[in-house]
Structure 1
Amino acid sequence: MRAIVVDHTATAHLALADVPDPVPGPGEALIRVAAVSLNYGELAHIGDASVPSGTRIGWDAAGVVIRAAADGSGPAEGTPVVTLGENGWGELRAVPTPLLGVAPPTADPGALSTIPVAGLSALRVLRGFGPLLGRRVMITGASGGVGRYAVQLAARAGAEVVAVTGDAARDGELRALGADRVITHPAQVGDPVHAVLDSVGGPMMVDSFARLAAGGTLVSVGRSAGADATFPPEAFLATEGRHDRSLRTFFLLADPAADYSADLTWLAAEITAGRLDPGISWRGHWTRFAEAAAALLDRRLHGKAVLDLGPEPRPVR
């Protein structure tokens, strides 16, 4: 089969190559991939010498089961699915069934492929905050992959959503997704917030933590700023209205025994029904992987980049 692999001789450090077909284990289904989506974290370090040429990457993919798991778990052959796992940017992938979600027959594989990392991260972090009905939630990096899903899901949960974005032109877009306020810096938030989902890190995380109310929690899901977060000593000084605050980290695959199938299935149904916007801002055939990777790394995209697999399109004459 063909797959996108790390290649340090290529300009984008990526190339299409022939690789062995995956061999599923007893609890794995074999998937023919129809679409994949790209995440900044997958691409940020592929140019490092520590990442050998030939390495396969890619977490998010959607497609169809062509061989059900031998142990009887998971969906049957012919079922459209959304998948989370490693080595996703190839024509085939073997996926443990707890990392498979069943999709409606009418689902768009490209839209489904945006779900696994971004959608699951947003969903699981927001659940960790507890009931959000009537509570103020601040989401930094709100126009990114995780942020867009978090804005929509927090609004669905009844939260008062404050979206933080570096691009003020995204105001209308984020309000349409469910944000009650759109600001460009946490200092503009006004009243304290119950929770913060932060995907930016650096000084943004420090300033966001300072806006937490008593009993509030900030969860760090990323550090797209690429800068250190340096907290002054007074940041952790407990005062009236600013006590019992917590700072937590998040890693989606922290529990190797976790079963994500129900959440992936629910998110796939919400996307297909139009109740969630996948936020695709770039889409093309997977032979254009270098173009998509460059746009993502250069921060020219707000939302998700999707690559569609299948026959290469014929040139227009």
Structure 2
Amino acid sequence: MQRLIPTGEAARPVAFADAPQPVPDTGEALIKIEAFAPNRGETFLLEHPRPEWLPGKDIAGLVVQVAADGSGPGIGARVVGHPAQGGWAEYAAVPTHSLAVLPDSIDSAQAAALPLAGNTALRLLRTAGSLAGRRVLLTGASGGVGHYVTELAVGAGAELTAVTATPVRGERPAELGARVVHEVAAAQGPFDVVLESTGGPDLALALSKVRPGGMLVWFGQASRTPVSFDFFQLLDGPERVTIQHFHYAGAPYGPDLETLVSLVAQDRLHPEISRIADWAQTAETLVDLRVRRIRGKAVLLTGGAR
């Protein structure tokens, strides 16, 4: 079979290679992949790829071999999955606890855009707690996670302010019901909850806009700039603010994937996909994703071979 492997080259970070078809472990099903969606974090890992690492965590396709332990969906089921790695290929072995069956109303491209970004959004909002009637600030709002957080938070009754780098990148969050600004300094606080994903100087600035007793949840560093705090500046800011670090990871992912699939099927969640292309264009798409030429998600289809 064909799979994409890291090259370590910035201009063309992956290349096709022949590989044996994976052999599933006892609790894994073999999936024939129809679509996969790269994440921006994966583009950073491709700059200095670890030995033996095979990229690919967001996939959709068909079950062609059921798990040996009898768990999971049957042969021919259309599924969305979140393997630990190896999803940029014709086939992948995926733990059945991290699969969800797709209804006919959701195509593979939509489904592939769900796993990492959608799971992150769901779990992040659970961390934030009930949002009905609360004022929320979200930084990095135009990425894959940001669109899901925006739609889910507004749907839950939050008064959301979304920070995007440009007016064009803010169009979709505005359509979803957010108040859009283009720098953290322009956000009109105080906020009950701040969901911060850019790092660098934005985190400290966002923290200053939290109400006394409020919460800041730090879930990313998209700027790739380290965060530093001046303790004495914290003393001048709001009192009793909770700062919480968040990371989405932790299997099983299947139950949350089922929730995401249900929300899409009910027309309550809409994957924001700015590019759908043949997987022959993966390398170019990864570069565009890394330098932010893509809003929301990009999806690659394996149906048309290279």
TM-score by length of 2: 0.93
For the pair 1:300 / 2:298, whether they are aligned, the reply is no
1:23 matched residue in structure 2:
23
- In structure 1, stretches of 5+ residues that fail to align are none
CA, structure 1 residues 287+245, in 2 after alignment: closer, same or farther (shift >3 Å)? same
Q: In structure 1, what is the Cα distance between the partners aligned to 2:233 and 2:86?
A: 41
- In structure 2, stretches of 5+ residues that fail to align are none
Q: Secondary structure at the match of 1:75?
A: coil
Where in structure 2 are the equivalents of 1:50-129 lying within 5 Å? Answer: 51-52=50-51, 55-85=53-83, 86-129=85-128
Instruction: Give 1:47 shift.
Output: 2.8
Q: In structure 2, what is the Cα distance between the partners aligned to 1:214 and 1:77?
A: 54
Provide the aligned length of Structure 1 versus Structure 2: 305
CA, structure 1 residues 235+82, in 2 after alignment: closer, same or farther (shift >3 Å)? farther
2:252 matched residue in structure 1:
259
Q: Percent identity?
A: 40
Give 1:269's match in structure 2, choosing from 262, 265, 280.
Answer: 262
For the pair 1:247 / 2:243, whether they are aligned, the reply is yes
TM-score by length of 1: 0.90
Q: Secondary structure at the match of 1:226?
A: coil
1:236 matched residue in structure 2:
234
Q: Secondary structure at the match of 1:93?
A: strand
Q: Secondary structure at the match of 1:274?
A: coil
Instruction: Give 1:142 shift.
Output: 0.6
Whether the 8 Å contact between 1:283 and 1:307 is mirrored in structure 2 is yes
CA, structure 1 residues 81+238, in 2 after alignment: closer, same or farther (shift >3 Å)? farther
Instruction: Give 1:306 shift.
Output: 0.7
Q: Secondary structure at the match of 2:130?
A: coil
CA, structure 1 residues 151+248, in 2 after alignment: closer, same or farther (shift >3 Å)? same
Q: Secondary structure at the match of 1:128?
A: helix
2:218 matched residue in structure 1:
220
One-letter identity of the residue aligned with 1:195: V
Whether the 8 Å contact between 1:292 and 1:305 is mirrored in structure 2 is yes
Instruction: Give 1:302 shift.
Output: 1.3
One-letter identity of the residue aligned with 2:239: H
One-letter identity of the residue aligned with 1:41: G
Whether the 8 Å contact between 1:108 and 1:272 is mirrored in structure 2 is no
Instruction: Give 1:158 shift.
Output: 1.0
Q: In structure 2, what is the Cα distance between the partners aligned to 1:298 and 1:190?
A: 29
